[in-house]
């Protein structure tokens, strides 16, 4: 894999040359190339059906999507752009099966990218300058809703979890697009503050400092962090929940000393008062860069696939509301 021309956005394990591993839908890479086509290569040795899905776009064309394979032809027969600036590629981890192992080896629910191969008449080009100087670096931490699980209902031929999950259409990615941000989208299905989630993931405070069990968090710095946790802690009493939320806030502040931290009311309203109280406690302790976002009334009955997970319409509405709320603090 030619490292220099590529740019990775999201939580990618890049410790081993020639490989980039993510267990988070919404993680993506950016590349420029010339020539008439390009293919992507993946190591699928750890994957089992249902296989992860990816989505990609060439230049400003339509988004395409497919299950992963060792070699995937992303484009062919391309015409040279009028300005001879080459083509751009966005390639994203679209959906994973949250029930498969994704924290401890083998990482069945993961995407392992091993390279891009332009056609014989092309090559990879230098990245665009703005890719290295994003307007905003944002991380959104949550559960299956943040992951994009069940954005889609069952569709003919596309009934598996990786097809019904859509990191691109989930509210974090759509919010980042509106803010012009590069976003790390970190969601693990069924995860809460008081317990682990699907696929072997630990509780949120124990997971934050790791990409997965053997991969510690890197040195990347966020300008803004959004927390959407608490949905899966509905049965937990306040006296147990609040210290755990405080622990997560403290970990985030230690990791990102200069970041603004937005603590969201979960869409189902779970522990809203507790979250607001912990925000106030942070403010009273002198941290003015922690603020509460009240999501009350953002979504209605028709905005969910199952009463809990926002559908495509609900995800778009949530992104609009969240974008507006964040702009007040940016």
The count of other CB atoms within 10 Å of the CB of residue 249 is: 22
Question: Residue 318 pLDDT > 90, yes or no?
Answer: yes
Which pLDDT does position 134 carry in this prediction? 94
Query: Residue 309 in 3-state DSSP?
Result: coil
**99, 161 Cβ separation under 8 angstroms:** yes
Which pLDDT does position 80 carry in this prediction? 79
Question: Residue 2 pLDDT > 50, yes or no?
Answer: no
**92, 56 Cβ separation under 8 angstroms:** yes
Question: Residue 122 pLDDT > 50, yes or no?
Answer: yes
Q: How far is CA 286 from the centre of its chain?
A: 30
Helices 171-179 and 312-327 cross at an angle (nearest 10°) of: 40
Would you kindly state where each structural domain of the chain is located, as residue ranges?
7-128, 131-327
Question: Residue 82 pLDDT > 70, yes or no?
Answer: no
β-strand 181-187 against 53-58: which pairing, if any? unpaired
- Architecture of the domain spanning 7-128: Sandwich (2.60)
pTM, two decimal places: 0.96
pLDDT class of 194 with cuts at 50, 70, 90? very high
Query: For the residues 150-178, what does the mean pLDDT come to?
Result: 95
Spatial CA neighbour of 11 closest among 110, 88, 108, 131? 110
Considering only residues 155 and 136, tell me which one the structure prediction assigns the higher pLDDT. Answer: 136
Lowest mean pLDDT among 66-75, 148-157, 209-218: 148-157
Domain 131-327 homologous superfamily, CATH: SGNH hydrolase (3.40.50.1110)
pLDDT class of 81 with cuts at 50, 70, 90? confident
> What whole-number distance in Å separates Cα of residue 214 and Cα of residue 219?
16
**122, 36 Cβ separation under 8 angstroms:** yes
Which pLDDT does position 83 carry in this prediction? 67
The rounded mean pLDDT for the chain is 96
CA atoms within a 13 Å half-sphere pointing along the CA-CB vector of 266: 25
pLDDT class of 177 with cuts at 50, 70, 90? very high
Question: Residue 291 pLDDT > 60, yes or no?
Answer: yes
Question: Residue 3 pLDDT > 60, yes or no?
Answer: no
**292, 276 Cβ separation under 8 angstroms:** yes
Spatial CA neighbour of 147 closest among 106, 207, 88? 207
The contacts of residue 232 (CB under 8 Å, 6+ apart) are: 143, 190, 191, 192, 195, 197
- The percent of residues above 90 in pLDDT, for the chain, comes to 95
Query: For the residues 138-165, what does the mean pLDDT come to?
Result: 95
Query: For the residues 68-75, what does the mean pLDDT come to?
Result: 98
């Amino acid at each position: 894999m030619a490292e220099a021309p590529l740019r990775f956005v999201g939580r990618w394990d890049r410790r081993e040359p020639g490989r980039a591993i993510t267990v988070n839908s919404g993680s993506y890479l950016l590349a420029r190339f010339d020539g008439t086509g390009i293919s992507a290569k993946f190591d699928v040795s750890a994957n089992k059906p249902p296989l992860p899905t990816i989505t990609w776009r060439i230049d400003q064309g339509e988004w395409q999507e497919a299950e992963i394979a060792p070699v995937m032809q992303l484009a062919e027969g391309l015409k040279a752009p009028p300005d001879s600036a080459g083509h751009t590629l966005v390639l994203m981890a679209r959906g994973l099966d949250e029930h498969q192992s994704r924290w401890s080896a083998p990482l069945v629910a993961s995407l392992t990218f091993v390279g891009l191969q332009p056609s014989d008449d092309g090559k990879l080009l230098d990245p665009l300058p703005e890719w290295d100087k994003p307007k905003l670096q944002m991380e959104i931490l949550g559960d299956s809703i943040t992951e994009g699980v069940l954005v889609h209902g069952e569709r003919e031929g596309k009934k598996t979890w990786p097809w019904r999950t859509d990191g691109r259409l989930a509210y974090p990615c759509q919010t980042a697009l509106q803010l012009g941000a590069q976003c790390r989208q970190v969601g693990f299905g069924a995860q809460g503050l008081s317990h682990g989630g699907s696929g072997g993931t630990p509780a949120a405070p124990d997971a934050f400092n790791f990409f997965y069990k053997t991969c510690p968090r890197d040195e990347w710095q966020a300008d803004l962090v959004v927390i959407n946790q608490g949905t899966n802690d509905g049965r937990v009493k306040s006296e147990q929940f609040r210290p755990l939320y405080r622990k997560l806030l403290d970990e985030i502040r230690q990791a990102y000393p200069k970041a603004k931290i937005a603590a969201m009311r979960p869409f189902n309203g779970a522990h809203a008062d507790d979250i607001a109280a912990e925000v106030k406690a942070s403010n009273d302790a002198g941290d003015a860069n922690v603020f509460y976002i009240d999501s009350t009334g953002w979504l209605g009955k028709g905005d969910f696939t199952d009463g809990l997970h926002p559908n495509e319409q609900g995800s778009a509405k949530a992104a609009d509301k969240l974008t507006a709320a964040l702009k007040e603090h940016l």
